[in-house]
Amino acid sequence: MEALTVADLTFEIRRSPRRKTIEIIVDRGGELVLAAPDGLALSVMTDFVEEKAFWIYCKLAEKEALQHAIRVREYVDGEGFSYLGRSYRLLLVDEQDSPVKLVGGRFRMRRSVAGQGRKEMIAWYTAHARTWLRKRVELWTGRIGVEPAGVAVRELGYRWGSCGHSGVVNFHWATIQLPASIAEYVVVHELVHLLEENHTPEFWLAVERALPDFKARKHWLAANGGAYVLL
């Protein structure tokens, strides 16, 4: 059996002369399959898996295949929540002027909203992601030579970012949970899509010109990113 391992994911490779595109299949038991055309290079498959890693980890989590790595958070004292790669403990308080705050090295949440804690944490992450990501976008637009039509932060399902024909770059709210250097890679990745729509060799050369160590950041995101989105 031909196989491919990317980070902690191992795929059985099934080749077919009739297939023209790559497809990832997550079997019922959590087994991973790559359906690929005959003759397709392993390096191309590896790139494809790394781009789809977020989706893969979330699918595996849904099947309880990665429960040791991805744990749904509880909104109780002492629970940990990530912000720019650092974990902060939660403290429930009786009174404060907003539902969630990060104060003195701890997330503070009004006890009265803990029942809808996920919603309140996402609102906090979204607001802070807008500020942080817009500053990073402003920093990189001149260096890359692009001018996005806008920056939006929202729920993107299994994608960290997207860039449509409108020129607006979109980021998943969970991006702000990642270490700053990894979130910065997501920013650069989406901005380069304003130059190159697809993941062509020219696309990756442009990313490398901006971030010479992008491969290490890309691999880290593929291996670890799935643990950051579920609250």
What's the confidence (pLDDT) of residue 65? 47
Question: Given a cut of 60, is residue 66 above it in pLDDT?
Answer: no
pTM for this one?
Answer: 0.78
What ranges make up the beta strands (E) of the chain?
3-6, 9-16, 23-26, 32-37, 80-83, 86-93, 100-103, 106-110, 150-154, 161-163, 168-172
**174, part of any domain:** yes
- Shared domain for 212 and 136, answered yes or no, is yes
- C-alpha to C-alpha distance for 31 and 61, rounded to whole angstroms: 12
Question: Given a cut of 60, is residue 70 above it in pLDDT?
Answer: no
What's the confidence (pLDDT) of residue 36? 93
- C-alpha to C-alpha distance for 204 and 189, rounded to whole angstroms: 9
**Residue position matching structure tokens 């944490």:** 121
Percent of the chain with pLDDT over 90: 67
CATH classification of the domain holding 204: 3.30.2010.10
- C-alpha to C-alpha distance for 204 and 80, rounded to whole angstroms: 35
- Shared domain for 145 and 224, answered yes or no, is yes
What single DSSP character describes residue 177?
A: G
The C-alpha torsion from 213 through 219 and 183 to 64, rounded to 10°, is -170
What single DSSP character describes residue 137?
A: H
Other residues' Cβ atoms within 10 Å of the Cβ of residue 32? 21
- C-alpha to C-alpha distance for 46 and 196, rounded to whole angstroms: 20
- Shared domain for 131 and 215, answered yes or no, is yes
What's the confidence (pLDDT) of residue 116? 96
Tell me the pLDDT tens digit for each residue of 76-126: 999 999 999 999 999 999 999 999 999 999 999 999 999 999 999 999 999
Top pLDDT among 84 and 229 is at 84
**110, part of any domain:** no
Top pLDDT among 58 and 134 is at 134
What's the confidence (pLDDT) of residue 158? 78
- Shared domain for 147 and 224, answered yes or no, is yes
**75, part of any domain:** no
- Shared domain for 129 and 223, answered yes or no, is yes
pLDDT-derived band of residue 213, with 50, 70 and 90 as boundaries? very high
Closest CA to 190 of 212, 173, 174, 206: 206
- Domain of 11 in residue numbering reads as 3-51
Tell me the pLDDT tens digit for each residue of 168-204: 999 999 999 999 999 999 999 999 999 998 888 899 9
Tell me the pLDDT tens digit for each residue of 159-174: 899 987 889 999 999 9
- Domain count along the chain: 2
What's the confidence (pLDDT) of residue 54? 82
